[in-house]
A and B are shown apart, each in its own frame.
Chain A
Amino acid sequence: MTSEKSRRKVALSDAAVGFILVAPAIAIFCGIILYPFVNSVLMSFTNRSLLNPDFKLVGLQNYQKVFGDPTFLRTLSNTGVFVLFATLLPFVLGMIWAIILNQKFRGAGFLRGVTLIDWIIPGASISFLWSFIFDANHGIVNELLRSCGLISQNVNFLGQSGTAMMVVIIARTWQMLPWYMAFLTGGLQGIEYDQLEAARIDGANNFQVFLKIILPGMKSIIIIVLVLGIIGNLQHFDIPKVLTAGGPAGSTTVFSISVYRQAFESYKVGIAATIGTIWAALLAAFSFFYTRRAGRD
């Protein structure tokens, strides 16, 4: 009896089971991502506007407009700077914090939980909080810098190009540090003790252990967290919008703000779709590369 049953079970091929398991995810993907995506790419070749139901094909005109726009390069570099620092900073700080809170002491778990609060506070509130901290007239940062004698006059952090981006990055880092910390904690705790023991016996010090055992052991988690962090920062839009409104002088205008403005403020959906397609193409190349690396098995 058992052999008959198992024969029947085996008859439902593994591949088929695999398909069934992945079906819901693929269905949702097609409906929510694929169809709108294809629709949007098609839209990028039209002059579609939300204000007008009629539209016509304009070929590559939108792409010409976007690449030819004098602010395109600036937006590209702003996006690059933001994504780079807003990913690396919380990653490094999150890693250190994960290490610190991984030390076995009472309240470590509690502190980890409290850290997560930074992540759940609504984006608009975070923006306000940090704009207040860096405020030109009443901000605590200015107060501290003045009382330490480092500056003689208040700095208008949000009113100047370079420092505005700095504040945006800091705010985003503050928001995402808990997320990196959480994932990296998981990675840390998954390190096998045997390997650690062996390295210690061989006389490795903390730094060497970290570099040669811990980091490689966390490799897949690190890759995932960095890639997803980068993609998340590319999408991210709440903080640059509320904190600095993309300014001053467009210095914090990143791709996501650009797309939003075209779609929801100018209603030029065709152009917005164009920016989006360019962005997606860049990302697809990047993601694909990593999918092949990380999904080697």
Chain B
Amino acid sequence: MKAKRLIAMALAGMLAVSAAGCNGGGSSSAAGGSSSGENKAAKLVWAGWSGEEESTKPIVQEMIKSYNDKGGSQVTWVGWPWADTQQQLILRNQGSDQLDVAQVDIGIFGALANAGILEDMNELMGEDYLKENYDEAALKVGQFEGKQLGMPWSIASIGLVYNPTLLKSVGYDKPPKTISEFEDCLKKLKEKDPNIIPYGVATKEATMATDFQPWLWTFGGKLLDADGKVTVDSENTVKALNWYKSLLDKDYIQMNITRQDSRQLFAQGKMAFYDDAIASRGVAKSNGVAEDKLDVTIQPMERPVLKEGDTPQSAMWGHLLVVFKKSANKEQAVDFIKSIVGEEMSLKYLKSNGMLPVLKTALNSDDVKSNPWTNSWAGITENGTTLEFALKSNGSELNNIVVEELQGVLLGNKTSEKAAKDLSDRITSALG
């Protein structure tokens, strides 16, 4: 019939047009670097997600452009959504596509490090050089079995942020320091306005496991001990689980809240506390908080402790840069990395997105020291602990187990004691 012929013609036309285009972009394993040696400049591929996101796209593009303008190696960007980056990197590493430098976050790093596909920075840049110039705590985050497999790009803890205005309205001029003060504050907030969610702890997706761990540590519990043995089945764990449940029962926290939800609700003044990192100020701004109102809307605080004198807990977070073993341009890649974490670029990054530098001289600069926001975060980071499953190859699976069991307790499906035991069994089985 006529329709089919019309469609066929249209398609033939489209084919012709795109055949021309297709050949151009045919194989995406284009342009490898000029192989090694004499010619220093190379074409590099930098992969990650920040170059795709609205809030970080401009600075990433600037970093690339200013490096390319120097005339040496040329960098191109390949990006995916944050949630897909880990799997895309693994697939891409196995394929023939070029891959030199990648942005990873602490969550992704573990799987890649375990797979043995990353190059040791100690070899590429020199261990002494690194120790001299870069912050020690930051460097530690990128270490795996004695090798520096990830170059820290920006490392800071995930802490608690609070809304000073809301807290003041219930009589808290300063954030609560102990758990009992914290609960009292939450109670007053809920009484004053039943429509707000006092504490927006993540109760959905892997982030729930991220938020739970510092609280678990606050109660003295641990998922694994120093030797990697599963120690989650303990009284302290049960206490932590019971505490979480009590928060839900009293309506201080809510189910089905993601980090993104919290960020938006917090910016709208519908939440008083939630867990986030140094970038949260920038996030609040992009969520509509006016520049001059930022200070009274969002401030960092140390996590409340069980009893006075305990160390406030926080989970280390941040982004790292890695170089792949299969890269043909490792030297050039390292040169590019140095420029990203160098003073000029890292201070620019601090200014545009609030990301903390790792270069010692940058950390000691006025930009950091004189800025109260940045300074507070540096302080919180001092006591940061790496998330317990961070360096495991199946970290996602392990975190998922924690999330499921925790949700089970919150929903009343099982007692905290049973959950602790199930956690122990399931984690042991997953690690085996």
Contacts and interface: CB of A to CB of B under 8 A. Distances in A.
Same complex for A and B? Answer: yes
Interface of A: 49-52, 65, 69-71, 136-137, 156, 158-161, 244-250, 261-262, 264-268
B94 A245 contact: no
Q: Main SS of the interface on chain B?
A: helix
B133 interface: no
Interface in B103-127: 111, 114-116
A264 B411 contact: no
13 contacts: A156-B256, A158-B255, A158-B256, A161-B411, A161-B413, A244-B204, A245-B205, A247-B204, A248-B255, A249-B404, A265-B394, A266-B394, A266-B397
Given A245-B205, A247-B407, 4 more contacts: A51-B90, A70-B426, A137-B254, A265-B397
Given A158-B255, A265-B396, A248 B411 contact: yes
B426 A249 contact: no
Contacts of A247: 204, 403-404, 407
Interface of B: 86-87, 90-91, 94, 111, 114-116, 195, 197, 203-205, 254-256, 270, 393-394, 396-397, 400, 403-405, 407-408, 410-411, 413, 422, 425-426, 429
B405 to A, nearest CB: 8
A247 B407 CA distance: 8
A153 B82 CA distance: 36
A267 B393 contact: yes
A265 B408 contact: no
Nearest to A135: B256
A164 to B, nearest CB: 8
A52 to B, nearest CB: 6
A240 to B, nearest CB: 13
B114 A51 contact: yes
Nearest to B90: A50
Given A261-B397, A265-B397, A248 B256 contact: yes
Contact of A51 (B111, B403, B404, B429): B111
B344 to A, nearest CB: 36
Given A70-B422, A264-B87, A50 B94 contact: yes
A159 B90 contact: no
A159 B94 contact: no
A171 to B, nearest CB: 14
B254 A136 contact: yes
A69 B396 CA distance: 17
B407 A249 contact: yes
Nearest to B408: A249
B28 to A, nearest CB: 20
A236 B302 CA distance: 43
A160 B404 CA distance: 12
Which A-B residue pairs are the 8 nearest by beta carbons? A159-B255, A51-B115, A265-B396, A249-B407, A159-B256, A266-B397, A266-B394, A158-B256
A19 to B, nearest CB: 25
Given A70-B426, A247-B204, A266-B394, A261 B411 contact: no
Nearest to A248: B407
Contacts of A137: 195, 197, 254, 270
B154 to A, nearest CB: 25
A140 to B, nearest CB: 16
A151 to B, nearest CB: 15
Given A156-B255, A159-B254, A266-B397, A249 B197 contact: no
A160 B114 CA distance: 36
Nearest to B409: A249
Contacts of A136: 254-256
A268 B393 CA distance: 10
